[in-house]
Amino acid sequence: MKHTISVLLQNKPGVLSRVTGLFSGRGFNIESLCVAETLDPGVSSLTVVSRGDNSVVEQITKQLHKLIDVIKVTDITDKEYVEREMVLIRMKAEAHTRAEVLRVVDIFRGKVVDVSAKSYAVELTGSASKIQAVIDILRPIGIKEIVRTGIIAMSRANKTK
Amino acid sequence: MGKVTGSQAVVRCLQEEGVKIIFGYPGGAVIDLYDALMDADIENVLVRHEQGAVHAADGLARVTGQVGVALLTSGPGATNGVTGIATAYMDSIPLVVLTGQVPRALIGNDAFQEVDIVGITRPCTKHNYLVSKIEDLVPTIREAFHIARTGRPGPVLVDLPKDLLASQLTYPEKKDVNMLSYQPTYKPHPIQIEKACKKIIKATKPVLYVGGGVILSDASRELTELAIKLNIPVTMTLMGLGAFPGTHELSMGMLGMHGTYTANMAVAECDLLIAVGARFDDRVTGKLAEFASQAEIIHIDIDPTSISKNVKVHIPIVADCKNALTAINDWFATKANINLEEEAARHRPWFDLIRQWTIDHPLCYKENNDIIKPQYVIEMLHKCTGGQAIITTEVGQNQMWAAQFYKFDHPRHFVTSGGLGTMGFGLPAAIGAQMAYPDKTVIDIAGDGSIQMNIQELATARQYKCPVKVAILNNSYLGMVRQWQELFYAKRYASTTMDVTPDFVDLARAYGAVGLRATTKSEVEPVIKEALATNNTVIMDFKIEKEEGVYPMVPAGKSNTEMLLV
């Protein structure tokens, strides 16, 4: 099963390598990984998406927590959370497909960020499933290149109060 | 306060941490540090190979419980230490390894003797650092000691660029280390303790399965109290030997691949397995599905990753072993409605069954009146030292025979590379142990293969007047691999025959040590006695039965109840 794990860690040289080294050394898989500074420049937040049964994911979270530079590990999969991914797609945009590309991009609330005689580069954000849906629809029209950020995620605020 | 150099600051940190002995090998990148050490009251042991330095620091740490310190130069000095670091990591031994690094301006330039040792050791250290700012130097070394000795202990490496060691700083005042992201759990959760105790009461066939964690947390007394008070039989892992007295009637000896028949049967049949500071290693469990399959499992460990890693645990207790065992003992002491004698009596039929297993299949070997049996050598070592020696081992058959036949009654007396299984560990580790306890008898039980992996450390032993005794169980084979080839590879002895080995008696003499040899059974005891009476480094060369095997043995992947017996 797919798990989204949110990690807070010290923003120090080599920390990312400790995390990725742990995954490769122990045979855990990484579907996507995103890391950047938080409000506190001394702390980074990392979102990693991995796959495995419960005991594997339990080991992943425990092993991550064991790293000295890791402050907090949360498996947010079973919690309420918002996930977003951004993708940049360069589309073939010949005369007969240009309008179709724009229509699809519009439906998915994307925007065109680069234009040439034969291509559009479009930017889209959304959940991983939305991004996948866009890609599935655009693929038959002609995708030339694709770059995805990987997922970032945040738990939803407690709504009871 | 005046300024000091980086090197002087490092030395001062070591003194602050109470370090008396360090092991190392100099080189260009650490020459300043060596210079500063000359003025300090720290014994600086010059080994003959950097691997030996780390193993010696490791040996010292294992017998004392203090943090061992090794000092290596950059590049090959540091890489030579990696096996030592990995050895300590697998066995959770507290070490601080200081390595020199090329000057900061040259890092990343493929400079002379440059290597990314922080990158190389990331997976085999508990943590590591490259110090890149002079103001970080002292706090980093303090943190390194703190991390090495707290929680589940382990080796920490600090990489020190040469120019940083030569630059000036104001030495910061001593402060307690407090790290936001590193807070090991020491205290057990009372609810878990209560749950565990109630299970222990209900059990009719309990077993204590004890690992190195009990020794690391100095919890032998608490463990022994629990076992004896409730009459619970004890089995120990290789790393746990000595945590409970090996000569006590409740001790079933070691379990696992070369464990006793009794221990393996008891674990297979028990209804409650109390794992304390052990990690369900594959050499212990054999076929996982059949390990303690009748039992509920309580697991005490300070490292949450050890719990439910290999075997599903019913009652996890994340805590320091000593604290958890104390809490369990207190619970039994304060719950007035529990009659301890009745509890103990309820385990008696179980204990009788266990005793019967031992009578039917004791740990044994086929005796011989002429040829030396390796097990006999170990028994004689035990006899002649009164069971009080510190025993280090190499790896392979020698290690297993030592574990089986030297009945360890005290913790921190058996020093062996359990997790990594590092050949060449025993001699330098014995030097470290002997440096820590100059008056104790320290014996390295070796094979003729392993001993040659760090034989050069005989010179270190001689230079620092370490009267370590090396007992070579010499069969001219790499015996453990040969045994596997005998059993599972149709006796095709591929690369396990050591037809050429040095004359170890002459070799000892060449180093200025004493060499003794026994070729028949009757010579064994006199040789050991002579060695023990000699105030010098001694090699005892025992020409043993060439094709003797280690038994019982559980073939790899088989259930622990499927033992090959003598």
> HEC states along B104-158?
HHHCCCCCCCCCCHHHHHHHHCCEEEECCCHHHHHHHHHHHHHHHHCCCCCEEEE
Supply the pLDDT for residue B1. Answer: 60
Supply the pLDDT for residue A119. Answer: 94
**B374-543 CATH, one of 3.40.50.740, 3.40.50.970, 3.90.100.10, 3.30.43.10:** 3.40.50.970
User: What is the per-residue pLDDT across B464-504, written as a single tens digit (0 to 9) for each?
Assistant: 999 999 999 999 999 999 999 999 999 999 999 998 999 99
User: What is the per-residue pLDDT across B123-157, written as a single tens digit (0 to 9) for each?
Assistant: 999 999 999 999 999 999 999 999 999 999 999 99
8 A C-beta contact, residue B86 and residue B95: no
B236 and A CB contact within 8 Å: no
Q: Is the pLDDT of residue B2 over 90?
A: no
- Backbone phi and psi for residue B70, each to the nearest 5 degrees, phi listed first: -125, 145
CA distances from B280 to B210, B271, B312 (A): 10, 17, 10
Supply the pLDDT for residue B151. Answer: 97
Distance from CA of A15 to the nearest CA of B (A): 10
Supply the pLDDT for residue B410. Answer: 98
Domain boundaries, chain B: 3-170, 190-360, 374-543
Instruction: Look up residue B436 and give its two tokens.
Output: 């820590």
Q: In what order do the strands lie in the sheet with B390-393?
A: B414-415, B390-393, B442-447, B469-474, B538-543, B514-518
> pLDDT averaged over chain A?
94
ipTM (interface pTM): 0.91
Tokens 């959370």 belong to A81
- CATH superfamily of the B3-170 domain: Thiamin diphosphate (ThDP)-binding fold, Pyr/PP domains (3.40.50.970)
B126 and A CB contact within 8 Å: yes
Q: SS3 for B240?
A: helix
Q: What is the pTM of this model?
A: 0.96
Distance from CA of A157 to the nearest CA of B (A): 24
8 A C-beta contact, residue B462 and residue B537: yes
A contacts of B309 (beta carbons < 8 Å): 59
Q: Do B118 and A65 touch (CB under 8 A)?
A: no
User: What is the per-residue pLDDT across B12-65, written as a single tens digit (0 to 9) for each?
Assistant: 999 999 999 999 999 999 999 999 999 999 999 999 999 999 999 999 999 999
How many Cβ pairs within 8 Å bridge chains A and B? 37
User: What is the per-residue pLDDT across B285-325, written as a single tens digit (0 to 9) for each?
Assistant: 999 999 999 999 999 999 999 999 999 999 999 999 999 99
Task: Tell which of A68, A71, A75 to mutate to test the B interface (max B CBs under 10 Å).
Answer: A68
Pick the residue from chain A with its C-alpha nearest to B146: A68
Residue ranges with strand state E in B314-380: 315-318
Q: Is the pLDDT of residue B181 over 60?
A: yes
- Going by the DSSP 8-state scheme, the letter that residue B453 receives in this structure is G
Distance, in Å, from the CA atom of B538 to the CA atom of B326, rounded to the nearest integer, reads 42
> pLDDT averaged over chain B?
96
Instruction: Look up residue B424 and give its two tokens.
Output: 């060449």
B180 and A CB contact within 8 Å: yes
The residue among B83, B152, B95 whose CA lies nearest residue B120 is B83
A contacts of B304 (beta carbons < 8 Å): 62, 65-66
Residue B306 class from Cβ within 10 Å (0-12 exposed, 13-18 middle, 19+ buried)?
buried
User: What is the per-residue pLDDT across B84-112, written as a single tens digit (0 to 9) for each?
Assistant: 999 999 999 999 999 999 999 999 999 99
B517 and A CB contact within 8 Å: no
Residue A140 class from Cβ within 10 Å (0-12 exposed, 13-18 middle, 19+ buried)?
exposed
Q: Which residues of B are catalytic?
A: 50, 112-113, 162, 480
Residue ranges with strand state E in A38-76: 43-51, 70-75
Tokens 């234009």 belong to A115
Distance, in Å, from the CA atom of B270 to the CA atom of B277, rounded to the nearest integer, reads 19
B182 and A CB contact within 8 Å: yes
Distance from CA of B524 to the nearest CA of A (A): 47
Q: Is A149 left (phi over 0), alpha (psi -120 to 50) or beta?
A: alpha
Pick the residue from chain B with its C-alpha nearest to A59: B305
Q: Do A21 and B147 touch (CB under 8 A)?
A: no
Q: Do B118 and A18 touch (CB under 8 A)?
A: no
Distance, in Å, from the CA atom of B241 to the CA atom of B389, rounded to the nearest integer, reads 14
The residue among B246, B251, B211 whose CA lies nearest residue B227 is B251
Instruction: Look up residue B288 and give its two tokens.
Output: 């996982």
Q: Is the pLDDT of residue B336 over 80?
A: no
Supply the pLDDT for residue A161. Answer: 54
Supply the pLDDT for residue A82. Answer: 93
Q: Label residue A118 by pLDDT band (50, 70, 90).
A: very high
Q: Do B181 and A55 touch (CB under 8 A)?
A: no
Instruction: Look up residue A90 and give its two tokens.
Output: 């360069």
Q: Is the pLDDT of residue A63 over 60?
A: yes
Q: Which of A52-56, B261-265, B446-450 has the lowest mean pLDDT?
A: A52-56
Q: Helices B50-64 and B426-436: crossing angle, nearest 10°?
A: 50
A contacts of B123 (beta carbons < 8 Å): 21, 25
Q: Do B180 and A71 touch (CB under 8 A)?
A: yes
User: What is the per-residue pLDDT across B202-214, written as a single tens digit (0 to 9) for each?
Assistant: 999 999 999 999 9
Task: Tell which of A7, A61, A66, A72 to mutate to test the B interface (max B CBs under 10 Å).
Answer: A66
CATH topology (fold) of B190-360: Rossmann fold (3.40.50)
Distance from CA of A81 to the nearest CA of B (A): 24
A contacts of B130 (beta carbons < 8 Å): 13-14
Q: Do B122 and A71 touch (CB under 8 A)?
A: no
B contacts of A73 (beta carbons < 8 Å): none
CA B251 from chain center: how many Å? 20
Q: Label residue B180 by pLDDT band (50, 70, 90).
A: confident
Supply the pLDDT for residue B341. Answer: 85
Q: Is the pLDDT of residue A89 over 70?
A: yes
Supply the pLDDT for residue A160. Answer: 64
Q: Give Cβ neighbours of residue B34 (< 8 Å, ≥ 6 apart).
A: B24, B26, B44, B71
Tokens 């293969």 belong to B449
Distance, in Å, from the CA atom of B290 to the CA atom of B299, rounded to the nearest integer, reads 18
